[in-house]
Amino acid sequence: MFVFVCAGCGARLTAPLFQVALPVHAHQKYGNGLQLPVLMESGTYAVEPEPWGPPWRRWEEIDPDEAAARGIHAPVFALSDAEPGAVVIAPGDTRGTVLIPEKGGGYCCGLDGADGPNMACEACGLPVASRIDDCSLWQAVWLAPNAVRRRRVDAVGAAPLSWAELTAEAKGTPPFEPITRWGSPSGPNQWWSWSPQWEAAAGRALAHLLVASEGRPVTVPGGLITEMFQRALDALLPAGPPARGAVLAGPGLPAPERDADILLVPVHPRTGETWAPVDPVASAYPVPLPFGVWLWLAFSQPHLPVPASGVMPDGVLRDDPPAPRPRYLFRVDREVFQHTLVRLSAVRSPWLRDILANVTQFMYVGLF
């Protein structure tokens, strides 16, 4: 495990932590005025390899060659000029820091870090991190990469679980969850929503599905995967040519057919590695899903939408009414979709550039 210390004075700034993959929803902005949970599990940290956060530079000020060198292949609103390598942790894992009250910019229901680091080392006053807890953002502390140093404390948690161990032990991410606002004059206001994590997962996966489609229709397996993707795939891809098929594949599932076109596979939550079959289907395109979402899709039995006929068998007491469903159709996270697509070199092809240019139009019809 590691701790992070202040680059100025060496004071310890975190609890012992081990590294995990950066969640796909790390930078998600969800809804309006909503309360999102803490991003990172306590005891873990993740690294954002790209620059992120202020200062930002608008696309008009950026040379396309510079953007391409940074792995951005299509226009974006702005790019960050911050130092790459920010470290994100759970707020409860910080030690020895104080807030910098003058850096509370962007304030709505909480802090959003728009003014740069808003937390200082308690010992020497060096600005070391940004606490983010504003509405519609995942609560986190982002350590500034040039203001902290990583120090190993022991070898605990060094070896990540194997895929088989993960599949046996990990918990799936439920597709629906109750969501609420940060304080409302009318009192608690809670409703059932699609999981923000599922919407972010779909944003990244949809970008890959479009590239994998090669401009042909794509079909996905029935059930929740259809609700997640089919509406967007049908709207964004042409109807004419023969369809390519996407199937779920991964640990504990039968090996995919040799003629599978597209595989929906899990990403290892510790290493960030995308699962690949032992005997790789050379031509199949792997589409990454966060492990918890993949696990739910692969192994969870959905509640039946209507009760089966007849009565409950003798001796069975029902104590698990189905979770209420959201009242609206699934929407793909637009920003995660755009973020992923502009980083795939295939986006240079005109038909994908067109989709990117028309994203707002698809928002009006509720795809995003």
Tokens in use for 165? Answer: 């161990």
Residue 8 interacts with Zn ion (CB under 5 A)? yes
Residue 147 interacts with Zn ion (CB under 5 A)? no
Reported in sequence order, the residue ranges of the chain that DSSP labels E, i.e. its strands, are: 2-6, 18-19, 34-35, 44-48, 56-58, 78-80, 86-89, 97-99, 119-121, 127-132, 140-143, 148-152, 176-181, 190-194, 218-219, 244-248, 262-267, 285-290
Complex with Zn ion: residue 6 or 46, whichever CB lies closer = 6
Distance separating alpha carbons of residues 272 and 24, to the nearest angstrom? 10
155 Cβ contact partners less than 8 Å away, ≥ 6 residues apart:
1
- Which of 264, 260, 277, 1 lies closest to 163 in space, CA to CA? 277
Binding mask of the shown chain, residues 317 to 336, with x at each position contacting Zn ion by CB under 5 A: --------------------
Residue 235 interacts with Zn ion (CB under 5 A)? no
Query: Of these, 16, 33, 43, 106, which contacts Zn ion (CB under 5 A)?
Result: 33
Residue 121 interacts with Zn ion (CB under 5 A)? yes
The Cα-based distances of 129 to 18, 244, 261 in angstroms read 18, 46, 44
Query: Of these, 26, 135, 249, 298, which contacts Zn ion (CB under 5 A)?
Result: 135
Burial bucket for residue 280 (CB in 10 Å: 0-12, 13-18, 19+)? exposed
Residue 108 interacts with Zn ion (CB under 5 A)? yes
Residue 276 interacts with Zn ion (CB under 5 A)? no
- Bond preceding residue 145 cis, omega within 30 of 0: no
Query: Of these, 62, 67, 109, 161, which contacts Zn ion (CB under 5 A)?
Result: 109
Half-sphere exposure of 57 (CA within 13 A, CB side): 13
Of 26-34, 228-236, 238-246, 360-368: span binding Zn ion (CB under 5 A): 26-34
Residue 62 interacts with Zn ion (CB under 5 A)? no
- Identify any residues that bridge with 358 across adjacent strands, giving them in sequence order: none
Query: Of these, 38, 114, 123, 243, which contacts Zn ion (CB under 5 A)?
Result: 123
Tokens in use for 68? Answer: 């391409």
Q: How many residues bind Zn ion (CB under 5 A)?
A: 12
Residue 153 interacts with Zn ion (CB under 5 A)? no
Complex with Zn ion: residue 66 or 83, whichever CB lies closer = 83
Complex with Zn ion: residue 28 or 340, whichever CB lies closer = 28
Closest separation in Å from C-beta 123 to Zn ion: 5
Distance separating alpha carbons of residues 293 and 295, to the nearest angstrom? 5
Closest separation in Å from C-beta 106 to Zn ion: 10
Query: Of these, 1, 11, 38, 67, which contacts Zn ion (CB under 5 A)?
Result: 11
Closest separation in Å from C-beta 242 to Zn ion: 48
Interface residues with Zn ion (CB under 5 A)?
Answer: 6, 8-9, 11, 33, 108-109, 121, 123-124, 126, 135
